Structure 1
Amino acid sequence: MGSAGLLLLLGLAALLPADAAPCAAQRPDSSTASQLLGTWLYVAGAAQFPPHRVEMLLIDRAFLRLEPGAGGQELLISHYVAVGNQCFTNNLTYLEVTPGNATLVKQAKTHQTEGMLMNVSSENLLLVQYQMQRERTYLGQYLYARNRSISTEEREEFKQHAECLGLRAEQIVYAPWKTEVCQVKEAEGSNSPHPEPVAAVTASPAPGTP
């Protein structure tokens, strides 16, 4: 497994169109776009695709930084992932928000849809759902939060979304956040997208950063 695959994991992989969502509804429209700005900490992931589950087990910590784009309808995303003693990063994806439409995760170079934000009960949670096509369709989702200490109710909500995708509780992997690389405060306080010592990796379309 290469570092490009690890970056793609939380970069969300090469995915099917957003209208293929099997469960729940997408975040309704652009009215909540400003609430998405800032830092989101990676809490957990769940995936049917076996290599993705293996990659999740290697991730110690990860987070996203969402910033306003120049066009007004785009939120730029910087991904940070700690694996071992290295911090990987990329900024090839963005959220596209259009009036009356869902918020989509896009790949900046190809403009390919990579995932969708799902409706959740709390503004402090960010749930991304994706589908990936191989010999069959693989489903998965990633949970981010403003604070790593999510409530029992929020964990249950994530499990329910996973069950809706046909995923079992044992297929959910929670990030341990034990190492010191990829410091959130350092990333927030810098104009550079690279916190800590970084091995810069370019995400490729296929498969998966968290």
Structure 2
Amino acid sequence: MALPWALAVLSLLPLLDAQSPACPNFSVPITNASLDQISGKWFYIASAFRFPEYKKEASKIHAVFFYFTPNHTEDTILLREYITVGDQCLYNSSSLKVQGEIGTLSTSENDREYYEHLLLPKDPKTFMLASFPEDKQYMGLSIFADKPEATPEQMQQFYDYLTCMGMDKSEVIYSDEKKNLCLPLEKQHDEERKKEKERFESGTELD
């Protein structure tokens, strides 16, 4: 499933006036603190894409939640994602590469490398991913939150960034948590990991 993932830390620019939303800086280096902030479980909330491939994939998806586990020494992030498409749940585990100096994160699929930028708003309970931010024909923006639904304030920041990039609210595709079919699989995986941990600890004690 070709969902875009990639990162680069956000620095907010001051508002020029009351009618002009703050634009993010897409080229801030990624730090360990940045990666720690996005570690854990997240939910896909909404996105807007002009890149045809991203737009096509996003339109098929009902719900997504995933786990980020950064590895600071290897400049990677373990991604475990649960995607509801139609009437099925798809699970995927992959490794994302962190290009810290240029502020991007990438993943490889079908011999292609996909890059995006991480935007960290003031609210630490959300983050956004921007693709091709300088290209009006291919740009895109997605928002993620630590809960299945974002607050009006969180969504407003997303809309402000869309406006700043030159995109329109009418281009947004939203997730639908009510159609999430992956919770049973997540529970199964949690139980399997718990049993593996118990077996490991038991074996260690015997040694």
Within 5 Å, give how 1:160-179 maps onto structure 2. 160-179=160-179
Q: Secondary structure at the match of 1:67?
A: strand
Find 1:66's aligned residue among 50, 65, 68: 68
Task: Work out whether residues 11 and 93 of structure 1, in 8 Å CA contact, stay in contact via their aligned partners in 2.
Answer: no
Query: Between the two proteins, what is the percent identity of the paired residues?
Result: 20
Q: 1:125 to 1:165 in 2, by over 3 A?
A: same
Q: 1:42 to 1:190 in 2, by over 3 A?
A: farther
- 5+ residue gaps, structure 2, are 9-22, 194-207
Equivalent residue number for residue 43 of structure 1: 45
Distance in structure 1 (CA, Å) of the matches to 2:24 and 2:189:
32
Distance in structure 1 (CA, Å) of the matches to 2:189 and 2:24:
32
Q: Which has the larger helix fraction?
A: 2
Q: TM-score, normalised by structure 2?
A: 0.69
What is the letter of the counterpart of residue 156 of structure 2? E
Task: Work out whether residues 33 and 97 of structure 1, in 8 Å CA contact, stay in contact via their aligned partners in 2.
Answer: no
Distance in structure 2 (CA, Å) of the matches to 1:172 and 1:149:
15
Q: Does 1:83 align with 2:85?
A: yes
The CA deviation at 1:79 is 2.6
Distance in structure 2 (CA, Å) of the matches to 1:156 and 1:103:
24
Within 5 Å, give how 1:28-39 maps onto structure 2. 28-30=29-31, 31-39=33-41
Distance in structure 2 (CA, Å) of the matches to 1:159 and 1:185:
31
The CA deviation at 1:180 is 4.4
Distance in structure 2 (CA, Å) of the matches to 1:179 and 1:35:
28
Q: TM-score, normalised by structure 1?
A: 0.68
Task: Work out whether residues 96 and 106 of structure 2, in 8 Å CA contact, stay in contact via their aligned partners in 1.
Answer: yes
The CA deviation at 1:44 is 0.4
Q: Does 1:129 align with 2:130?
A: yes
Distance in structure 2 (CA, Å) of the matches to 1:107 and 1:40:
18
Matched residue count: 174
- 5+ residue gaps, structure 1, are 1-6, 193-210
Q: Secondary structure at the match of 1:11?
A: coil
Q: 1:63 to 1:143 in 2, by over 3 A?
A: same
Distance in structure 2 (CA, Å) of the matches to 1:36 and 1:187:
24
Q: 1:172 to 1:111 in 2, by over 3 A?
A: closer
What's the CA shift string for 1:100-137, capped at 9, x where partnerless?
Answer: x36422125769451110131211112000029x9x84
What is the aligned-residue RMSD (CA, Å)? 3.3
Equivalent residue number for residue 205 of structure 2: none
Q: Secondary structure at the match of 2:178?
A: coil
Q: 1:177 to 1:74 in 2, by over 3 A?
A: same
Task: Work out whether residues 76 and 95 of structure 2, in 8 Å CA contact, stay in contact via their aligned partners in 1.
Answer: no
Task: Work out whether residues 57 and 173 of structure 1, in 8 Å CA contact, stay in contact via their aligned partners in 2.
Answer: yes
Within 5 Å, give how 1:146-165 maps onto structure 2. 146-165=146-165
Distance in structure 1 (CA, Å) of the matches to 2:191 and 2:165:
38
The CA deviation at 1:168 is 0.7
Equivalent residue number for residue 139 of structure 1: 139
Query: Relative CO higher for 1 or 2, CA cutoff 8 Å, sep ≥ 6?
Result: 1
Distance in structure 2 (CA, Å) of the matches to 1:165 and 1:69:
31
Distance in structure 1 (CA, Å) of the matches to 2:188 and 2:113:
27
